[in-house]
Amino acid sequence: MWSSSGAADRRWPRRVCSVIKQGGYKKRHRCQFSWWCDGRSDKPMDRTAWKESLHVAKMIKTGVVNDPTNSALCYHAVSVSTSWAKKLDRYARIGQHIFYTDPKRKPRQVADASE
């Protein structure tokens, strides 16, 4: 499960880092993000890619470009089958991940990428 808007939803912690670090405390591989509790280092290995990801995240957060997930609250890898996804609207597939929006929640797109 993920989203920058996830932290803005009452169902999850307020801080993005707190959302990311949920679960995995007692049992490895039982967390929101598999890379967080897989037992390996979380230090970015590719400095250029890391800087680019921070730049893209900032542009989306500030509304310079639209969020390609349409403020999705949840996602999963295409290799995973979930029961919770049936309650949500499938919005996009980006690479090997499928993103879902809540049909009861109005998305908060700020800007148009073409502007």
For the cut 70, the answer to whether the pLDDT of residue 102 exceeds it is yes
Half-sphere exposure of 30 (CA within 13 A, CB side): 6
CA of residue 33 relative to chain centroid, distance: 9
| Number of C-beta neighbours around residue 16 at 10 A | 18
Q: What is the mean pLDDT of residues 4-12?
A: 63
The residue ranking higher by pLDDT, 23 or 88, is 88
Question: What is the tens place of the pLDDT at every residue in 25-83?
Answer: 776 667 878 788 888 888 999 999 999 999 998 998 898 998 898 888 888 999 988 88
Task: List the Cα angle 92/94/97 in 5-degree steps.
Answer: 90
The residue ranking higher by pLDDT, 114 or 89, is 89
**How far is it, in rounded angstroms, from Cα 76 to Cα 82?**
8
According to the model, what pLDDT value does residue 38 have? 83
- Listed residue (101, 104, 109) closest to 61, CA to CA: 109
**Cβ distance 49 to 43 under 8 Å?**
no
The residue ranking higher by pLDDT, 91 or 39, is 91
According to the model, what pLDDT value does residue 10 have? 78
Q: How is residue 32 annotated by DSSP?
A: S
The residue ranking higher by pLDDT, 29 or 7, is 29
* Lookup: tokens for 95: 């690479």
According to the model, what pLDDT value does residue 108 have? 54
**Cβ distance 19 to 12 under 8 Å?**
yes
* Lookup: tokens for 82: 């979930």
